[in-house]
């Protein structure tokens, strides 16, 4: 795993992560009230795509204040580099409601259904998206905020406990229902003793957070670790590379990026949660999000040999030094080269074999920018 300095494109009117900046109201940076968390956790999706809060809860949250109605249609035009969950998070913030990445991911699924978008991960610049399905939750949040302002200081421990329970249940529903490969990989890691049972949900949440920050699919990260460390084994090592994504020795390699250049093997003494912090630093240093939305091949090449990302043709031999697993080669033949398509096929096959089941494949995140990746990965002959 070699470290290469990232190439940062020049952008205008965007924040540091490359997303367009949006105006925010004075409430944008306030955490959502516990009442809103309860409303979001209880909301049920309807066939129309709307989220409906049960009447009893709605009445209790808005007692003493009326919801604020937004009469004008809530539509946006997708800008280059945006994700649907990022749009949801920023648009909610622009109306005074701060939500977590996990909440944004759940709500983006509702928005996708309301707009007849088959894959929430695939939106395109210029596409018009209606966010009207979020209006009821914005009204509930604003009502909850007003109610909280009126009754400040009167919340008791029971209310706080209920809100906390709802938040945990919400995170569980989001992460486990949308990322089946990650779920199975983490369950397997707990069974094998790689992850303590009490860290299970925290690991899930951390990976989902990283996926939002660096713009890859959580299931793809699970596939990566199944190849590199048998599925998040923090003590995996081949004497040169160590940990869940195999941070390698050397001054310009992964261990150095993670802060362990002087003693790479010390990585093995850290938990999966701690190593995920190292993964975050490594992905930042290698400019992963500049390739986003990041497909499985670019995600894996970032770990294996970042410079190989420069070759974007799907069936051309990649310059990857050293001996690699047979799964990565064309037709699983170590005498054959490694290509982007052979990496995709190999990682899917390896994951299916280790997890003991075929997991339904989703459309590649790269389909929007390269038609060669639109279909399921297959092994092909090198041109």
- DSSP notation for 260-323: -SS-GGGGGGS-HHHHHHHHHHHHHHTTGGGGPSBPHHHHHHHHH-GGGGG---TTSPP---S-
Give the residue with greater pLDDT, 69 vs 242: 242
Q: What is the per-residue pLDDT for 97?
A: 78
C-alpha to C-alpha distance for 304 and 302, rounded to whole angstroms: 6
Region 255-283 average pLDDT: 90
Same domain, 230 and 305: yes
Q: Please tell me the predicted confidence (pLDDT) of residue 142.
A: 66
Answer yes or no: pTM beyond 0.75.
Answer: no
| Whether residue 234 has pLDDT greater than 50 | yes
160 or 200, higher pLDDT: 200
pLDDT at 335: 92
Q: Could you count the other beta carbons within 10 Å of the beta carbon of residue 68?
A: 15
Residue 27 located in a structural domain: no
pLDDT at residue number 367: 36
Q: Are 269 and 246 members of one domain? A: yes
Domain C-terminal end among 119, 140, 170: 170
User: Facing residues of 20 across strands?
Assistant: 14
Whether 122 and 238 map to the same domain: the answer is no
**CA gap 201, 253 in Å, rounded:** 30
Do 210 and 142 share a domain, yes or no? no
Out of 136, 170, 204, a domain closes at 170
Q: Is 49 inside any structural domain? A: yes
Within-domain flag for 380: no
pLDDT at 382 over 50: no
pLDDT at 2 over 50: no
The first and second tokens of residue 234, run together, are 């923090």
Based on the fold, state whether residues 366 and 264 are members of the same structural domain: yes
What pLDDT does residue 269 have? 94
CA distance 178 to 173: 8
Residue 373 and residue 367 in contact, taking contact as beta carbons nearer than 8 Å: yes
Q: Look at residue 22 and tell me if it is in a domain.
A: no
Mean pLDDT of 137-160: 56
Q: Considering the domain boundaries, does residue 184 fall inside one?
A: yes
Residue 252 and residue 144 share a domain: no
Co-location of 301 and 349 in the same domain: yes
Last residue of a domain, one of 115, 138, 170: 170
382: in domain: no
What residues make up the domain containing 72?
34-149+159-170
- List the one residue out of 266, 265, 263, 306 whose CA is nearest residue 282: 306
pLDDT of residue 155: 46
362 lies in the same domain as 228: yes
Quote the mean pLDDT of the chain.
74
Give mean pLDDT, residues 97-117: 82
Q: Domain check: are 248 and 353 in the same one?
A: yes
Instruction: Calculate mean pLDDT across residues 255-271.
Output: 87
Tell whether 73 and 121 lie within a shared domain.
yes
Of residues 352 and 95, more confidently modeled: 352
pLDDT band (50, 70, 90) for residue 144: low
Residue 252 confidence (pLDDT):
61
Q: What confidence category does residue 378 fall into, taking pLDDT thresholds of 50, 70 and 90? A: very low
Same domain as 204, residue 353: yes
* pLDDT, mean of residues 21-41: 47
Question: Is 335 a domain residue?
Answer: yes
Alpha helices in the chain (DSSP H): 34-42, 55-61, 84-94, 101-114, 135-150, 157-178, 180-192, 200-214, 218-229, 254-257, 272-285, 296-304, 340-355
Q: Are residues 243 and 364 in the same domain?
A: yes
Total domains in the fold of the chain: 2
Q: What is the reported pLDDT for 316? A: 93
Is 287 domain-assigned?
yes
């Amino acid at each position: 795993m070699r470290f290469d300095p990232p190439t940062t494109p020049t952008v205008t009117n965007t924040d540091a992560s490359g997303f367009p900046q949006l105006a925010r109201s004075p409430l944008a940076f306030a955490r959502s009230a516990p009442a809103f968390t309860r409303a979001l956790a209880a909301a049920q999706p309807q066939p129309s795509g709307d989220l409906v809060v049960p009447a009893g809860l709605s009445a209790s949250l808005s007692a003493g204040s009326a919801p604020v109605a937004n009469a004008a249609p809530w539509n946006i035009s997708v800008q280059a580099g945006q994700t649907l969950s990022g749009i949801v998070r920023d648009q909610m913030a622009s109306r005074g409601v701060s939500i977590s990445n996990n909440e944004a991911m759940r709500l983006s699924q509702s928005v996708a259904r309301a707009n007849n978008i088959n894959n929430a991960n695939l939106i395109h610049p210029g596409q018009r998206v209606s966010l009207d399905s979020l209006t009821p939750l914005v009204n509930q949040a604003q009502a909850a905020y007003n109610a909280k302002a009126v009754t400040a200081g009167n919340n008791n421990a029971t209310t706080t406990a209920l809100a906390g329970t709802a938040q945990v249940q919400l995170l569980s529903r989001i992460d486990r229902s949308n990322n089946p490969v990650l779920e199975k990989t983490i369950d397997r890691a707990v069974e094998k003793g790689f992850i303590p049972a009490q860290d299970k949900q925290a690991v899930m949440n951390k990976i989902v957070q990283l996926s939002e920050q660096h713009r890859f699919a959580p299931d793809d990260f699970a596939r990566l670790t199944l190849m590199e460390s048998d599925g998040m084994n923090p003590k995996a090592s081949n004497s040169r590379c160590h940990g869940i994504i195999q941070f390698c020795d050397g001054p310009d390699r992964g261990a150095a990026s993670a802060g362990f250049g002087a003693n790479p093997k010390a990585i093995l003494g850290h938990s999966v949660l701690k190593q995920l912090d190292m993964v975050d630093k490594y992905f930042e240093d290698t400019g992963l999000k500049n390739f986003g939305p990041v497909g499985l091949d670019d995600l894996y090449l970032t770990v294996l040999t970042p410079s190989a990302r420069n070759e974007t043709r799907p069936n051309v031999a990649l310059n990857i030094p050293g001996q690699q697993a047979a799964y990565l080669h064309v037709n699983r033949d170590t005498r054959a080269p490694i290509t982007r398509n052979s990496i995709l096929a190999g990682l899917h096959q390896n994951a299916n074999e280790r997890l003991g089941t075929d997991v339904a494949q989703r459309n590649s995140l790269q389909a929007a920018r390269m038609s060669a990746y639109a279909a399921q990965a297959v092994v092909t002959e090198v041109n």
